[in-house]
Amino acid sequence: MKVVLFCGGLGMRLRDYDQNIPKPMVPIGYRPILWHVMKYYAHFGHKDFVLCLGYRADAIKNYFRNYDECVSNDFVLSEGGRRLELLQSDVGDWRITFVDTGINSSIGQRLSAVESHLAGESEFFANYTDGLTDLPLPAELEHFRRHGRIASFLCVKPHLSYHFVVSRPGGEVTSIRETAQTGLRINGGYLIFKSEIFDYLRHGEDLVADAFQRLLAEN
């Protein structure tokens, strides 16, 4: 299965880190978030990636064009540094398609822009590339197929310290609860789709605000 990675946003939630670095390129250790997400899928055998680029597309393209496997793999150096032999490879069998989908495009617009690169795929993965998970991917895929839906995404508890307030129209507060007490869940950014998702996504629309709402209304 192919993996669509949304890499083109401005990354407003991480803007305090470095405004010149696109969100997926913020490092964790000596590799960017994007690499770790791709490594996650590759671990389960999914190594055909479609990158939806936008803001600072050049940074992502140049990273992979100049990729140095020595950083994350064992190797043997000989002949005074003139000969290098990798003992294993981490991206050698990856296939990466780079597609410029616009700087200000929504997630839905980015997905529509790469539809042609998913021809022949009855199912595919998608990811926001701004978070990591230890979820067993085969279990998520089996759950998706068993329920026979067009779209599925991972829901997670938000890591927030806010208090949620419930009030009446006049402003009278009726309850105050911590986030952990609300049962609130947010989109974790790990998605699976059937190709039929494009039947619910019209030109210029957003994935969650438009296509997902049609799916919810139908089911």
177 bridge partner residues: 164
Query: What is the pTM assigned to this prediction?
Result: 0.87
Q: List pLDDT tens digits, range 67-125.
A: 888 888 788 999 988 898 988 888 889 999 999 999 999 999 999 999 999 999 999 99
Is there a contact between 212 and 169 (Cβ–Cβ < 8 Å)?
Answer: no
Q: How far apart are CA 158 and CA 179, in angstroms?
A: 8
* β pairing state of 95-100 and 123-127: unpaired
Mean pLDDT, the chain, whole residue set: 90
Confidence bin at 36 (pLDDT 50/70/90): very high
Is there a contact between 133 and 37 (Cβ–Cβ < 8 Å)?
Answer: no
Residue 19 φ then ψ, to 5°: -65, -15
pLDDT value for 163: 80
Domain residue limits, the chain: 2-155+187-218
Residues in the chain: 219
**Helix/strand/coil for 14:** helix
CATH superfamily of 2-155+187-218: Spore Coat Polysaccharide Biosynthesis Protein SpsA; Chain A (3.90.550.10)
Is there a contact between 96 and 49 (Cβ–Cβ < 8 Å)?
Answer: yes
The rounded percent of the chain whose pLDDT value lies above 90 is 65
What's the half-sphere exposure (Cβ side, CA atoms, 13 Å) at 161? 0
**CA neighbor of 92 nearest in space, from 114, 112, 73:** 73
**CA neighbor of 6 nearest in space, from 75, 57, 40:** 57
Residue whose pair of structure tokens reads 């803001």 in the numeric block = 55
